[in-house]
Amino acid sequence: MEVAGLRKAFGELEVLRGIDFSVARGEVVCVIGPSGSGKSTLLRCVNLLEEPSAGRVTVAGTEVTDPDVDIDRVRRRIGMVFQAFNLFPHLNALENLTIAQRRVLGRDRAEAERIARANLERVGLSDKAAAYPAQLSGGQQQRVAIARALSMDPELMLFDEPTSALDPELVGDVLAVMRALAQDGMTMLVVTHEMSFAREVADRVVFMDGGVIVEEGTPEQVVGAPQHERTRTFLARVLDPAAAEVGEVADSGAAGKRVDR
């Protein structure tokens, strides 16, 4: 994936202000930063859930931002896991995994179910195929959402803070699944506040603030020894929240106008 000169404005508020970076095949890139820095908007621009105001996004050699692109075909190659689980409440886990396979990819029921069961086993939920979302914990629902994305055979997986809506004791199971995906060579772009995951799993960490990339490099460089003062301040607050003082960090960029994107 390659992003060049990416900008996105909502009215007068410019959320992305010229983003340039790439993700190589098989690479895991974690994007960190404060709320409102543009991280989620960046992810949503990659598959045109938000239309960029300017710039170019290319995925697996196809320019997503080309006005003539078949975006539905491109999206088949991109899996996305949101903060909310977005499962169909009236379908059980197996049906949640097979509906898009059958309707979008044209697979028959037997093949779709075989692939769905394999991916439920991959995320440790082979015994929950008949369970409905309301019968599953938040962590289990998120793992079903990951299995659903994997069932479409994506080349790139986007994760938008996939553990932020979970109770702390449920986070580990979801991160374990993501670690396994990384070990299997899945290309992943992950927006996260889980610094331990970024440190252990990411090939590269990107720190964003105010709609720009402030710093990027290996986890050892960005998380372990950040060079930019804004990165150091952010990490100090994230890694030791109790040490922060009221009003210690003001919003950068569009101060007073920032919205949580």
In this predicted model, what pLDDT tens digit does every residue of 7-21 receive, in sequence order? Answer: 999 999 999 999 999
* CA 4/CA 56 separation, integer angstroms: 5
In this predicted model, what pLDDT tens digit does every residue of 109-149 receive, in sequence order? Answer: 999 999 999 999 999 999 999 999 999 999 999 999 999 99
* The model scores a pTM over 0.85: yes
Domain 2-77+155-239: homologous superfamily in CATH: P-loop containing nucleotide triphosphate hydrolases (3.40.50.300)
Tell me the domain boundaries of the chain: 2-77+155-239, 88-153
In this predicted model, what pLDDT tens digit does every residue of 228-241 receive, in sequence order? Answer: 999 999 999 888 77
* CA 174/CA 44 separation, integer angstroms: 21
In terms of Cβ atoms closer than 10 Å to its own Cβ (0-12, 13-18, 19+), residue 157 is buried
- Provide the 10 A C-beta neighbour count for residue 183: 10
